[in-house]
Amino acid sequence: MNCWHCDRPAYGSCRFCGRGVCKEHTKTLPHIEELYRDDRGMHKALVVADALWCGVCQPREDPVELPQLK
Ligand SMILES: [Zn+2]
Ligand SMILES: [Zn+2]
């Protein structure tokens, strides 16, 4: 797999869309690792602050609130 931006060998793949990115073009974004409900039934999310991101795709911002989730 090569970098989406420069076609050199990829350093990793985007956590959100799977595109390859080299070290130079790697960006980071918060990423939800796990969703769960706490003791009071509130939806919570475990978020990694600097997940690998390609810089191309557009993950939804503010992914913590999921009121429709049952
Ligand atoms: Zn690159
Ligand atoms: Zn991406």
pLDDT digits (tens, 9 = 90+) for 20-69: 999 999 999 999 889 999 999 999 999 999 999 999 998 876 556 666 66
Three-class SS state of 39: coil
Residue at token pair 């990694």: 48
Within 8 A by CB and 6+ apart from 1, the residues are: 9, 10, 13, 20
- 11 C-alpha to center of ligand 1: Å? 9
The reported pLDDT for the residue numbered 23 is 95
- 32 C-alpha to center of ligand 1: Å? 25
The reported pLDDT for the residue numbered 27 is 95
Diameter of the chain measured on Cα atoms = 49
Return the ligand number nearest the Cα of 14: 2
Residue at token pair 């009071």: 40
Rounded CA-CA distance 19/27 in Å is: 12
With bands split at pLDDT 50, 70 and 90, how would you rate the model's confidence at 70? low
The reported pLDDT for the residue numbered 6 is 97
**This prediction's pTM:** 0.71
The reported pLDDT for the residue numbered 59 is 81
